[in-house]
Amino acid sequence: MTTNRVPTLFVLGGGRAALEKAKQCGAVHIDKYEVVIPEEVDGGIQAHVEDPTIALLLLDVAERIYVFPEYADLLPRLRREKVVVVAPGGHPLCAEYRCGDLCS
């Protein structure tokens, strides 16, 4: 019997490098892409959003949400205990939110 597990790790932003890392840890990568190249997505899950607030609809099931600074405007709408900002320790967002490496 095969079961499909709903992904519970999400990555907001970070571009193609974040997509690669998201694939490694089984996360859904949500970002705005000019062009989607299927070979780059192979083995991962990618969601393209025109309006970043649409990403909020996908995050109800999240256990952990990794947020790059370009999606910082969504932070007040996310549950703080689920958020990890992907930024170096001295970044201004780290004063209010937990910061760390992607998929840590």
What tens digit of pLDDT does each residue of 86-104 get? 999 899 999 999 999 998 7
User: What is residue 4's predicted lDDT score, i.e. its pLDDT?
Assistant: 57
Tell me what the mean pLDDT of segment 20-49 comes to.
78
Q: How confident is the model at residue 41 (pLDDT cuts 50, 70, 90)?
A: low
The residue type found at 18 is A
Q: What is the CATH number of domain 9-95?
A: 3.40.50
What tens digit of pLDDT does each residue of 8-28 get? 899 999 988 898 899 888 888
The pTM of this model reads 0.82
Beta 45-48 vs 9-12: how paired, if at all?
Answer: unpaired
Tell me what the mean pLDDT of segment 37-45 comes to.
70
DSSP state of 7: P
What tens digit of pLDDT does each residue of 66-85 get? 999 999 999 999 999 999 99
User: What is residue 93's predicted lDDT score, i.e. its pLDDT?
Assistant: 97
> Which residues, including other chains, have CB under 8 Å from residue 59's CB and lie 6 or more apart?
10, 65, 78
Residue that the structure tokens 């840890």 belong to: 25
